[in-house]
A and B are shown apart, each in its own frame.
Chain A
Amino acid sequence: MYKFTMSPRNTEKIFNKLSNKFDIFDVTKSDESVIFFCKDKDKKQIQKYLKFYGVVDFTFKPVRSTSLISKVTSIGIILGVVVSTILWIVSSFFITDVILMGDTTFTEQNIYDVLKKNNIHDFTFKSSIDVESLEDQIESLPYISYVSIIFRGNALIINIKEQLTNTEIVDYGNFAPIISIYDCKITSIKLVQGTLAVKAGDIVRVGDVLVYPYATDSQGNTRSVQPLADIVADVYITSSLTVYDQKLERKYTGNVVKNFDISFLGLKIYSTNNEVKFSNYESKTSTSYISETLIPIKITYTMCYEYNEVVENTNFLENLDYYVDKTRQTALLNVKEYDIIKNESHVVRDYDGYHVVEYSVTVNKKIA
């Protein structure tokens, strides 16, 4: 719509002429001016006609349309906001996802069984979930060390920490035997209690028993005891490095294509679709919540990094010292500051197309 303002001269005559060709709306006349409205499409023609009829002192400007379409659009927006608000409020009463976090290698299925037993699944009322009781039930499961359950948005997040399995001690009656965690050669043993399984000079492998958790008294009776001993051994700490004659090197060009998806309750509501024209690229995806509020809107970024593959010769013999030193450093990572290094050696093995550098550090240390 356009609003015209002009002087109130020959008004009736002009409107009679204009009304034969155009639809004129909301005509108001005062002593100073006449105001009327017309459709957008008629604006130019009306300008011409007004000039033709000698009206020169007129002005016009566009006004906001109040057409049926705009009304419907306005109602649609309001309705959309209202419906969204209602959906948001309603959805905040439910959980839509159960997320297990932490290490659940041994316990995942058991946890899902507990959830099933408590009738917890998607679209379960949050208020019907007794978090404390659920924590107690999950914590009572085997291998569970710690559990915490929280609601985040519409997700029920179960954070699990499993018990660490002690690799050194295996159940053996009331007490566990002392077991070697190194490949080593025993140099000295001072037994406190228990029964020795090895003697000085023995070479033991990882997992071999060093001291049994029992003792035999003077009457020949065997009883369980906590095994205790000071055992010192030469431990062989090794590391190896495989070097290929040729290696495929990735060189990133710096070109990146970024796409992202926005999803609500698992439904994709918006996504970008930038085409990836790279012949070689590496993609990385990261997902996060847009806000910390109850609305579980997730945004998933996918970054595609272009790279070129370049074949490089390693020149093994030229760089042998470097590879030996690198292998040594790796081996020394497993040597503690207080360990006494008795010997160091390295071996290079050549194969077809690759070489293996093995470095060995012998340290004398207390292993029990």
Chain B
Amino acid sequence: MEDFVFICYFEANVFNFFSELVADFGIEIDKANSFNIVNMSNKLVYIEGQKGVIKIGDDSMSIRVKGGVIVVFGQKLKLKKITGTTVCIVGEIHQIESV
């Protein structure tokens, strides 16, 4: 996980994936109320722009983000890492809802 974070950090300094996507598709996003989610093969969910954890459980987790709430459903879920702005959830992810 540290390796992954290290790579993301390294990438952020030279290439921001989300910024590139926004620029490439010409989407206008209010940065003050934005969040990003990456789902990697239903094994890992990386949420950027988290504002707080609402619920921690092994079958569902709810994360408050700048524009609402993200609910992750699955099995054997684990909060792999939580920092001031990001959350990483691992496990068997079945569904991700944005409410």
Contact = CB atoms under 8 A, between A and B. Distances in A.
Contact of A12 (B55, B78, B81, B83): B55
Interface in B1-51: 1-3, 6, 50
A68 to B, nearest CB: 6
Size range of the chain A interface in the assembly: 20 to 34
Nearest to B55: A12
Interface string A23-35: 1111111100010
B53 A15 contact: yes
B56 A27 contact: yes
A12 B56 contact: yes
Nearest to B77: A28
Contacts of B82: 15, 18-19, 23-24, 27
B53 A26 contact: no
Given A24-B81, A25-B80, A26-B79, A15 B1 contact: no
Interface of A is mostly: mixed
B53 A68 contact: no
Contacts of B2: 67-68
Contacts of B1: 25
A33 to B, nearest CB: 12
B56 A23 contact: no
Given A25-B1, A67-B2, A68-B3, A12 B53 contact: yes
Interface string A330-345: 0000000000000000
B81 A29 contact: no
Interface string B73-95: 00000111111100000000000
A12 B58 contact: no
Contact of A26 (B57, B58, B80): B80
Contact of B84 (A21, A25, A26): A21
Nearest to A37: B81
Contacts of A26: 78-81
A19 B84 contact: yes
B52 interface: yes
A29 to B, nearest CB: 5
A303 B3 CA distance: 52
Interface in A1-41: 11-12, 15-16, 18-21, 23-30, 34, 36
Nearest to A16: B52
Contact of A29 (B50, B56, B80): B56
A204 B82 CA distance: 109
Nearest to A19: B82
Given A12-B52, A16-B52, A27 B83 contact: no
Which residue, of A19, A21, A24, A68, has the highest number of chain B Cβ atoms within 10 A?
Answer: A19
Which residue, of B1, B78, B79, has the highest number of chain A Cβ atoms within 10 A?
Answer: B79
A20 B84 contact: yes
Given A67-B2, A68-B2, A68-B3, A15 B56 contact: yes
A17 to B, nearest CB: 9
Given A15-B82, A25-B80, 15 more contacts: A15-B79, A18-B82, A19-B82, A19-B84, A24-B79, A24-B82, A25-B81, A27-B56, A27-B82, A29-B56, A29-B58, A30-B58, A34-B56, A67-B2, A68-B3
5 contacts: A12-B54, A23-B82, A27-B82, A28-B78, A34-B56
Interface of A: 11-12, 15-16, 18-21, 23-30, 34, 36, 67-68
